[in-house]
Amino acid sequence: MIDPIPGFSKLTKEEKIQWLGRTYLAGNTDAENILKQYWNPDSRLQQLHEEFTENTLSNYYLPFGLAPNFLINGERMAIPMAIEESSVIAAASKAAKFWGKHGGFKAEVLGTRKIGQVHFMFNGKKNKLQDFFRKVKPELLEAVEPLTKNMKKRGGGVVNLELRDKTELLGGYHQLHGTFETKDSMGANFINSCLERFAETFKAEAGKYEAFSPSEKEIEIVMSILSNYVPDCLVRAEVSCPVEELADHGMSGEDFAAKFVRAIKIAEAEPYRAVTHNKGIMNGIDAVVLATGNDFRAVEAGIHAYASKDGRYTSLTHADVRNGEFRFWMEIPLALGTVGGLTGLHPLSRIALEILQKPSAEELMKIVAVAGLAQNFAAVRSLITTGIQQGHMKMHLMNILNQLNANSKEKELLVTHFKTHNVSHSAVEEQLDKLRS
C-alpha cells in the first residue's frame, strides 16, 4: 500500500513530478518529459496558468478552432470553439453555411435572472417564522448594501428575496430564496457573498426575536450557495425557411422536413435518444463556453436539469412545419459572463471574446445558443441522410492515423485513399499495412 504524502501542496512543481514518477509512474520513463513538454516557455504565462488551480504539474491543451460564416440576427460572425472531438467544428460550420443562405439564425434573450438560496432548519411554528421574515427582510437587504453597491451601478443587484417552506420534502427544512441580476458577470462570487451575509444577519436577528421561544431562536444555517439551475435566465435560438429549400441528398424538401421533424419527435419522446441528442447540442455549446472562459460544468448541469423540468428527460430542440414553413428552435438556460473569472485572465479567452466583438453577457448567450442549435441541425441532418458515421469517421481518420503512428507521407496517401472509401479502424490499419509492405 502506498503511504500518504504530507505537505504535497508545498512541494515545487519539479518535486511533485518526481514524486509522481517514483510512486505511480515508475515504469514510464517518458512521463516526466511529456509533462514538461507542455510547460509554456513564457514563465509569466506558465505561472498564470498554475494560479488558476492547485497542485499543477503541466498544461492540458485542447484545440482552439473557429467556425466561420454564422449569420445571427443579421450580423455575420465567426465563433471560436475549444474542443477535441472530431467533426464538431466542421459540422457547425456546415450548418452555418446552409442557414446563411436561408435567412440566418434568430436569437433573443428571454430572461437573465439567477437564483441563490440560504438553506436552513427551523422546527418551530411556521406562522412565527413568516412574521419574523416579514420583519427582518428590510434588514437583510440593508445588510448586503455594501456588496450590491457596484452591481447596482451596472443595473444589477438583488431582485427579490422570499421565504420558502420545504418541510413537505424534509422535516424542518426552509429556504431564503434569492433572485439576482448580475449583468455581464456570471455572478457566482457576488451571489454567494450576498447569501452568506443574508445567513449571518438572519441567524443573528432570530436570536434576538422576542416572539421566538428559546429553541426557535436556534435556527440552523445548513449552507448558503447559488444554484446552477437558472430557468429564468433563458435564451431562444431558431431558424426557419420554406420547406422546398430543404431538398437534400436526393430528398425533396417535403420529405427532408418530415424526416427531420420525426427525428426530433423521437428525441422528445425517448429519453435514451434524448440524452445523445442533447449531448450533440452540448458539443456546440460547451466548445464556445470553454473558449470564452466560462464554466461549462455549470452550464451542463443547468441545461440538463432544464431538459427534465416537466418530470421526464426530453429533447432541448423542437421542430415543426406550418403552412409550408419549416421551423427549428431551442430555449435553454444559460448563465454566462463576459467580465470576471477566466474571461479576463486567460489570454485565449480574451482573444475569443475579441473575435466575438466583445459581446455583453446577453449577446454571448445568443451566440452560444446558436452554436448548439447549429450543431444539432448538422447532426440530425446527417442521421436522416447519409448516417452519422460517414462524415464523422472521415474527420476521425487523422486520429486513427496518429494512433497507428503513420508518418506524414502515409497520412497524405491514406487521406486521399479514404476520400472514396469507407473509414473504419480496421480498414485504415489494413491499408496502412499494405503501404508499409
Cα separation, 432 vs 151, whole angstroms: 61
CA Rg value for the chain: 27
Extract the C-alpha cell encoding 137.
427582510
Cα separation, 80 vs 300, whole angstroms: 19
- Cα distances (angstroms) measured from residue 6 to each of 10, 50, 75, 408: 9, 21, 56, 47
Residue 390's pLDDT band (boundaries 50, 70, 90)?
low
Instruction: Examine the residue annotation and report whether 419 is marked as an active-site residue of this protein.
Output: no
Instruction: Examine the residue annotation and report whether 3 is marked as an active-site residue of this protein.
Output: no
Residue 388 has pLDDT above 80, yes or no: no
- pLDDT tens-digit map of 165-200: 999 999 999 999 999 999 999 999 999 999 999 999
Domain boundaries, the chain: 8-50, 64-111+231-386, 114-226, 392-436
SS3 139: helix
Phi–psi pair at 314, nearest 5 degrees = -145, 175
Buried b (16+ CB within 10 A) or exposed e, 4-38: eeeeeeeeebeebbeebbeeeeeeeeeebeebeee
- pLDDT tens-digit map of 108-120: 999 999 999 999 9
- pLDDT tens-digit map of 242-268: 999 999 989 999 999 999 999 999 999
Is residue 220 within 8 Å of residue 119, measured between CB atoms?
no
Among 119, 183, 392, 396, the active-site one is: 392
Q: What is the pLDDT of residue 389?
A: 57
Among 295, 362, 363, 366, the active-site one is: 295
Among 50, 85, 218, 255, the active-site one is: 85
Closest CA to 278 of 264, 297, 261, 258: 264
CATH number of 64-111+231-386: 3.90.770.10
Residue 1's pLDDT band (boundaries 50, 70, 90)?
confident
Instruction: Examine the residue annotation and report whether 392 is marked as an active-site residue of this protein.
Output: yes
Instruction: Examine the residue annotation and report whether 255 is marked as an active-site residue of this protein.
Output: no
Q: How many CB atoms lie within 10 A of CB 114?
A: 27
Residue 46: which H helix or E strand, with range? helix 43-50
Among 126, 279, 358, 421, the active-site one is: 279
Residue 423 has pLDDT above 90, yes or no: no
Residue 306 has pLDDT above 90, yes or no: yes
Q: How many CB atoms lie within 10 A of CB 149?
A: 10
The fold adopted by the segment(s) 114-226 is Alpha-Beta Plaits (3.30.70)
Angle between helices 388-403 and 361-384 (to 10 degrees): 100
Residue 390, amino acid: Q
Cα separation, 239 vs 391, whole angstroms: 23
Query: To which residue does cell 445568443 refer?
Result: 366
